[in-house]
Amino acid sequence: MKAYPPAKVRNVALVGHGGSGKTTLTEAMLLCSGAVTRAGRVEDGTTVSDFEPEEHAHHMSTSLTLAATEWRGYKVNVLDCPGYADFVPETFAGLSVADLAVFVVSAVDGVEVQTEIFWKAAAELGIPRLIFMNKLDRERADFSGVLQQLHSAFGAGVAPLELPIGEEAQFHGLADLLSDTAFVYETGKCNPTKEAIPDNMAAQEHSVRDSLVEGIVVADDDLMARYLDGEEMNADELAKTLARGVVSSQVFPVICGSATKLVGIDRLLDIICDVAPSPLERPPARVRAPGANGGEVVEVATDPAAQPLAWVFKTIADPYVGKISLFKVLSGTVRPDAALFNPRARAEERLHLIFTLRGKEQIPLTEVAAGDFGAVAKLAATATGDTLAPRNMPVSLVPTGSQTDGDSNGPSWLAEATMPVLSVAIRPKSKADEDKMMTALHRLQEEDPTLIVRRDDETHQTVLTGTGETHIAIAMERLARKFGVGVESEELVIPYRETVTANAEAEGKYKKQTGGHGQFGVASLRIEPMDRGAGFEFVDNIVGGVIPRQYIPAVQKGADEAMSEGGTFGWPVVDIRVTCFDGKFHPVDSSEMSFKMAGALALREALAKASPVVLEPLSLLEVTVPNAYQGDVMGDLNSRRGRVQGTETGQPGESVVIALVPTSELVRYAIDLRSLTGGRGRFKAHHDHYEVMPANLWDKVKKQTAGQL
């Protein structure tokens, strides 16, 4: 594939709800542009962009995929973005480097929840948008109804450029409103024939066209004056004015088509090339230079002649090739064997062979100019989100939309939407798997930064956190396929605590005679409850030397270790005061070991007498939902023993519910909230404090202790 200047590059992200036909549309665009000779099918697992076995098995896109093609002297970088809620971060990664978002909307299902979420994200990021109404050949397809939904959801800027000719199975062409021309397609062929608008829809076409022209000319005073004088506007003038409206995100054209019947695919490619902005027409990249207080933020022009600067937006972990890093060139031109500096890793990287991707196919490139995408293998220190810059200019990209003023603040809802919120505990299936598991997990994290892996030292579990159930399941499948590591999930252990509610005393005696010197130590301890969160306090109240001074620390250490090992229910003991007030020693047989054991024995006996209770962790939960779901969410939180602390007004049309909820009730909250709100709710939670658990629930803790600890 030849090199293209920025003016001839189009970076397009296909986004929309799962099942709207984005992958099939990608396949149709590749077929019509001649990049492939045969269109694959999602159902058969033969598509270019869904090439992972997990995607074939689940019949869904799970990763952002690049499929580069050429059309009419332009290079079109098509980013096929997942539409399923668990893989929202992948779609946001695509939007972060796209210059146009093509929203694929099913003419059967209409505007769905993920489409609304992605539209909001694109608007927040300032990305121009275009709508492709797909599946107009399907039964129950409703162009007018879905168009009305689009107007209701996204405003008056939604403007149809085409009308469908024929309905459902009879859909076979498009009436182009700009040129007053009909494009009629034969089954399975991309190239239409031009005809006059059919008589039976001429009146409708003229009416819709008049509305479209009025909406376009308002953006140009000269055109508006000529239009009001009764002058007929030609298609080229309208297209140029429309392009300015698209770039400014004031107009959102609606294109009709069917990806399976190849209707309208050529027209979509034409409009992408003619109307969509090039990288030159988009805001310049903003980078942070090194320096005090985080350094100065400056803009970098999309100039192929400048120093090379690239940003890695996606990493693919390949068990054979190693890492493949997808990057966007922000300025300059990147050529094979270029040496660039990674400011985060403080390492120089050499980009040996540079290529672009069409699914998993690697297409060599001689150079990648500013605004274009490229890929390179085997970058040792570079991860997703890193900037590659000249050594004499070690700047780092400020990602679009993440920072608005050079500070660290940004749109919080974008961060919440990509935040991993569902945790599961995993364990290796065998000893061999155990040896390789952590290394494999870290390699998987390079490909998918939204996965969080941590080892809980208290519960001794490996915890994997992702955006949803499917996300985690597919991550486990990839562990097995790519790295040969088998893992299985287990119940997540909640870190409970214990404390006491009454005073108690006990004597601990450790006596052992084995011939020669024995072991002897007696310690009497008193325990008292303390305020919540006070921790542990040890009081030395020994008088008269009944326990020598040098053995008191051993008594304290024994008590401390006994508390850590667990009380009556097996959980660590907190918030108590331990007083050592009496004891006995032997001048020959006593030792630090004997008094440490005596302290532990005394503490355990005293705990059993002091009315122990279980403390459960409470999380401070912030749930953001559309106003219509506020009552349902509050009722659900009450059923989880939550205490609503208040509500706040969030983004327009949204409410934020703040509540304290037992952490054990939130293990599957990510799944339940999605079901409760139709995927429109999001939340964040963090540990707040411990409280006494109701006694009727202690049996649950006993069972968990017996089974897990």
Pairing of strands 100-106, 129-134: parallel
> Is the domain of 137 the same as that of 149?
yes
> Is the domain of 483 the same as that of 387?
no
For the cut 90, the answer to whether the pLDDT of residue 398 exceeds it is no
Q: Coil, strand, or helix at residue 407?
A: coil
> Is the domain of 598 the same as that of 508?
yes
In a domain, 152, yes or no: yes
- Mean pLDDT of the region 510-533: 88
In a domain, 410, yes or no: no
- One DSSP character per residue, 197-218 reads PPGGGHHHHHHHHHHHHHHHHT
Residue 362: the pLDDT is: 94
> Is the domain of 268 the same as that of 297?
no
For the cut 80, the answer to whether the pLDDT of residue 517 exceeds it is no
Better-predicted residue by pLDDT, 569 or 104 = 104
Mean pLDDT check: name the lowest of 60-69, 201-210, 374-383: 201-210
Q: Could you give the percent of the chain with pLDDT greater than 70?
A: 96
Total domains, the chain: 5
> Is the domain of 319 the same as that of 458?
no
End of a domain among 231, 247, 281? 281
In a domain, 414, yes or no: no
Mean pLDDT of the chain: 91
In a domain, 526, yes or no: yes
In a domain, 630, yes or no: yes
Residue 408: the pLDDT is: 40
Please write the tens of the pLDDT for every residue from 410-429: 445 677 777 889 999 999 99
List, in sequence order, the alpha helices (H) in 531-628.
Answer: 552-565, 592-609
> Is the domain of 152 the same as that of 21?
yes
Burial of 283 (0-12, 13-18, 19+ CB in 10 A): exposed
Residue 704: the pLDDT is: 64
- Cβ atoms 22, 64 nearer than 8 A: no
Instruction: Assign 659 a pLDDT band (cuts: 50, 70, 90).
Output: very high
Please write the tens of the pLDDT for every residue from 545-586: 999 999 999 999 999 999 999 888 889 999 999 999 999 999
∠ CA 321-322-324, nearest 5°, is 90
Better-predicted residue by pLDDT, 518 or 150 = 150
CATH number of 516's domain: 3.30.230.10
∠ CA 462-465-466, nearest 5°, is 145
CATH number of 391's domain: 2.40.30.10
Rounded-to-integer distance, Cα 608 and Cα 42, Å: 62
Rounded-to-integer distance, Cα 476 and Cα 425, Å: 12
- One DSSP character per residue, 138-152 reads STT--HHHHHHHHHH
Better-predicted residue by pLDDT, 552 or 317 = 552
Burial string for 140-174 (b: 16+ CB within 10 Å, else e) reads ebbbeebbebbbeebeebbbbbbbbbbebeebbbb
CA 53 to chain centre: 21
> Is the domain of 631 the same as that of 589?
no
Mean pLDDT check: name the lowest of 308-322, 377-391, 428-442: 308-322
In a domain, 595, yes or no: yes
Residue 5: the pLDDT is: 96
Q: Around 597, how many Cα atoms within 13 Å sit in the side-chain half-sphere? A: 12
| Residue the block writes with tokens 């009944």 | 546
| Residue the block writes with tokens 């505990």 | 425
In a domain, 415, yes or no: no
Residue 496: the pLDDT is: 93
Rounded-to-integer distance, Cα 256 and Cα 176, Å: 10
> Is the domain of 86 the same as that of 165?
yes
Please write the tens of the pLDDT for every residue from 108-118: 999 999 999 99
In a domain, 328, yes or no: yes
Rounded-to-integer distance, Cα 413 and Cα 684, Å: 10
Residue 294: the pLDDT is: 65
Residue 221: the pLDDT is: 77
Residue 706: the pLDDT is: 59
> Is the domain of 466 the same as that of 501?
no
How many other C-beta atoms lie within 10 A of the C-beta of residue 527?
25
> Is the domain of 393 the same as that of 435?
no
Q: What is the DSSP letter of 556?
A: H
CATH number of 430's domain: 3.30.70.870
Domain range enclosing 110: 6-281
> Which residues, in sequence order, are CB contacts of 156 under 8 Å at separation 6+?
215
- Cβ atoms 171, 261 nearer than 8 A: yes
- Cβ atoms 128, 101 nearer than 8 A: yes
> Is the domain of 384 the same as that of 426?
no
Rounded-to-integer distance, Cα 435 and Cα 438, Å: 8
> Is the domain of 149 the same as that of 48?
yes
CATH number of 113's domain: 3.40.50.300
CATH number of 666's domain: 3.30.70.240
Rounded-to-integer distance, Cα 160 and Cα 269, Å: 16
- Cβ atoms 398, 387 nearer than 8 A: no
